[in-house]
Amino acid sequence: MSVPSSTILPRSNLISDDADDLLDFDGAAEILRAWGAGLTPDADLTVSQWADRHRMLSGRASAEPGRYRTARTPYMAEIMDRLSPGDRAQRIVFMKAAQVGATEAGNNWIGFAIHQAPGPMLAVQPTVELAKRNSRQRIDPLIDESPELRERVKPARSRDAGNTMLSKEFAGGILIMTGANSAVGLRSTPARYIFLDEVDAYPASADDEGDPVTLAEARSLTFAHRRKVFLVSTPTIRGMSRIERDYDASDQRRFFVPCPHCGAMQWLKFERLRWQKGQPETAEYHCEGCEQPIAEHHKTAMLEAGEWRATATAADPNTVGYHLSALYSPIGWLSWERIVRAWDAAQGSDEAIKAFRNTILGETWVETGEVPDWQRLYDQRENWKPGIVPAGGLFLTAGADVQKDRIEVDVWAWGRGLESWLVDHIVIEGGPDRHEAWGDLAELLGRTWPHERGAHLKIARLAIDTGYEAPAVYGWSRAQGFAQVAPVKGVEGFNRASPVSGPTYVDATEGGKRLRRGARLWTVAVSTFKAETYRFLRLERPTEEERADGATFSPGTVHLPHWVENEWLKQFVAEQLVTVRTKRGFARLEWQKLRERNEALDCRVYARAAAWIVGADRWTDDKWRDLEDQLGVADASADPAGQINRQAQATQGKRQSDWLGRRGGWF
């Protein structure tokens, strides 16, 4: 047997005997603490456990600041824990109502990864601008309020901190934040973790390079079974919803809760929420098992005893899917009474009911795609003088469709609630290779149309399609200036959050020379505006007797003049929405032509996109009232016979035109 070496013993005894002397200096205790902390292994936590222990909610980003408590939203525990490295699931899909705590759960995952399981992470919002906003309002407070994260992510003001608005470096990894509209951001780096938030608001294509979700997920393939992808969204339209497609391919989990009376486990359905007519405060949930009413104060105990149960077999065993409506919203958030009030308020409006189904129930909306009868539109034509803007029209936009031998332009007037009137239809002979055609189109930008109340209106924005001879369109648009002209590119798909995105800079040519950032291109989700137009055309219209009694047209009503011809009307309803099956078996919606020519519908879509770009969808009531005051429209009800002084009105419109003219030259 070998004899142990004794050469090290005296040194060990020396350290032991003189330990007090060796540690007798300032900072020794801190060194020992840090040394001990370094030797202590990290706790083996799941994401939900980490959030309960380390996450602090800031008053800047939360209505309930303070320590995060998973018990507040018990349904989020399993979803978060599926994101933990120890769980086998690779893709977690969450189709949900608005404001149920999903985004905070994703932020918990980000914090967990920085602290417990570092690696490259990609967080994607619908647009780069939203990614910047999310970084300021959510990610910065997440880091600032949690000491464990503050230690690992250096302050942005430090030199070489690696901490910018869209990038956060930490030991062992990096968080990249980007928008689904940026192909560069999506392919910037491999990522083990991918957080895709509000995927149904993503554009159909990222800078013409393909589906943003596919591009983002490709970043994680090299991590094989170690990757985690979290897809979250409020759904939109059936057949077009990304989140519904992935949820349908999953095991389709529902959150089952027990009845406080009989104990029957069930997932909550809106159809079983009942109330006395006109009394939303009486809302109660009726159990599927015993039919007993359940008061909302039972909800807290029901959520605590709830559990997720799969209701289908997943096509991909590595994918788990979850669905949750706002009926599960915790006490103090969205009550059953408020849900009933929202439902009652939505009655009579397809748009409001669609928003209710999407944001409250977390379900998709079914677009019928029913084609309006062009002969019915013919019978509904109205009489007003050609070239005159009716009283309700407050500003003009135009849509231009470039064809091989002509340019077709439709001018639309828009009023409150996006009520619209076709003001003019112009056909410019000669295609994009005819110089005079572009000159004639440019003249329209300076032309004015007389308003019924005396003022004269110019086109606020002309949207022109770039699908045919794009270089020529870019060159003309650049020459006119982008304040009044918007080159647009139509893409398939529905996008309710932002039907128009951009602008993005594209190269253009002038005299054979390529110009970097030569044109600013807007991308338009044409399916959204086509479906909206058909829905507006199907609105009920008051009869002449009802209008005489004071009835008004519904918001969105489309008014067509008596001079519009049959061919134009047939073009206006030349497409239908049909359901088709992809190669993978998924259903999707697609617009198909019923006839060859559809320029009227295309021009309407472009003019509608121009109204969006101008900002009409986001204007406040004060803005609309300001436009009405400038045109004297607010005085119309007090002067039904039109006995006002037209010359005085025109003078008023001219005087006020300076204010609005500086903001786009509309008068």
Greater model confidence, 595 or 228: 228
Tell whether the model's pLDDT for residue 416 goes beyond 50.
yes
Spatial separation of the C-alpha atoms in residues 396 and 409, rounded to whole Å: 13
- What pLDDT is attached to residue 41? 60
* pLDDT for the residue numbered 14: 41
Residue 292 has pLDDT above 90, yes or no: yes
- Spell out the alpha helix ranges (H) of 428-565: 435-446, 470-480, 526-537, 544-548
In the predicted model, is pLDDT for residue 31 greater than 70? yes
d(CA 131, CA 463): 27
Residue 450 pLDDT exceeds 70: yes
Residue 352 or 465, more confident: 465
Average of per-residue pLDDT values in the chain: 84
Q: Shortest CA distance to 625 belongs to which of 451, 416, 456? A: 416
Mean pLDDT of 462-485: 89
**What's the pLDDT score for residue 39?**
63
Q: What is the mean pLDDT of residues 388-414?
A: 94
Tell me the mean pLDDT in the region 88-109.
92
Candidates 3.40.50.300, 3.40.1010.10, 3.40.640.10, 3.30.420.240; correct CATH number of 374-623?
Answer: 3.30.420.240
Which residues, other chains included, contact 174 with Cβ-Cβ below 8 Å and sequence gap of 6+? 120, 121, 162, 167, 168, 189
Domain 47-252+313-324 has CATH 3.40.50.300: yes
Query: Is residue 423 over pLDDT 60?
Result: yes
pLDDT band at residue 454, thresholds of 50, 70 and 90?
confident
Q: Is residue 63 over pLDDT 80?
A: no
pLDDT of residue 4: 47
Confidence of residue 259 (pLDDT cuts 50, 70, 90): very high
Residue count (the chain): 667
Determine the pLDDT at residue 340. Answer: 95
- pLDDT tens profile 522-576: 999 898 899 889 989 988 888 888 888 888 898 999 999 999 999 999 999 999 8
pLDDT at 42: 59
> Is 134:231 a contact under the CB 8 Å cutoff?
no
Residue 209 or 113, more confident: 113
Give the pLDDT mean for 310-317.
Answer: 91
Tokens of 193: 């973790």
Is the pLDDT confidence value at 40 over 70? Answer: no
pLDDT category at 90 given cuts 50, 70, 90 is very high
For 603-650, the pLDDT digits (tens) are 999 999 999 999 999 999 999 999 998 887 764 443 333 333 333 334
Listed range (374-378, 487-491, 577-581) with the worst mean pLDDT: 577-581
Residue 7, pLDDT above cutoff 50: no
The rounded distance, in Å, linking the Cα atoms of 484 and 470 is 18
pTM for this model (two decimals): 0.65
Distance CA 102, CA 324 (A): 10
Report whether pLDDT(176) > 60. Answer: yes
pLDDT at position 586, please?
Answer: 58
* Strands of the 293-294 sheet, one edge to the other: 273-276, 279-286, 293-294
Residue 272 token pair:
């079983």
What mean pLDDT is predicted for residues 286-309?
95
pLDDT band at 584 (very low <50, low <70, confident <90, very high): low
Question: Which position has the higher pLDDT, 161 or 269?
Answer: 269
pLDDT band at 57 (very low <50, low <70, confident <90, very high): confident
> In this predicted structure, which of 21-30, 128-137, 359-368, 640-649 has the lowest mean pLDDT?
640-649
Q: What band does 243 get if pLDDT is binned at 50, 70 and 90? A: very high
Task: Give the C-alpha separation, 634 to 627, whole Å.
Answer: 9
What distances in angstroms separate CA 55 from CA 87, 174, 303, 332, 487, one per listed residue? Answer: 21, 19, 22, 21, 46
Average pLDDT over residues 470-474: 87
* Residue 308 pLDDT exceeds 90: yes
CB 90 within 8 A of CB 144: no
Q: pLDDT digit string (tens) for 657-666?
A: 333 433 345 5
pLDDT, tens only, 331-383: 989 999 999 999 999 887 777 888 899 999 999 887 665 688 888 999 999 99
Percent of the residues in the chain that have a pLDDT greater than 70, as a whole number: 84
pLDDT of 10 over the 60 cut = no
pLDDT of residue 585: 56
CB contact set of 435 (below 8 Å; sequence gap of 6+): none
pLDDT at 284 over 70: yes
Q: Please give the pLDDT value at position 573.
A: 92
> Pick the residue with more confidence: 187 or 142?
142
List alpha helices for 285-349, DSSP H: 299-304, 336-346
* Domains in the chain: boundaries: 47-252+313-324, 258-311+334-363, 374-623
Asked if pLDDT for residue 96 goes beyond 90, the answer is yes
Predicted pLDDT at 320: 96
Q: Tell me, what's the pLDDT at 602?
A: 95
Q: Using an 8 Å Cβ cutoff, are 392 and 452 in contact? A: no
pLDDT tier at 21, thresholds 50, 70, 90: low
Average pLDDT for 403-409: 92
CB 278 within 8 A of CB 619: no
Angle at 497 between CA 494 and CA 503, to 5 degrees: 90
The pLDDT, as a whole number, for residue 13 is 46
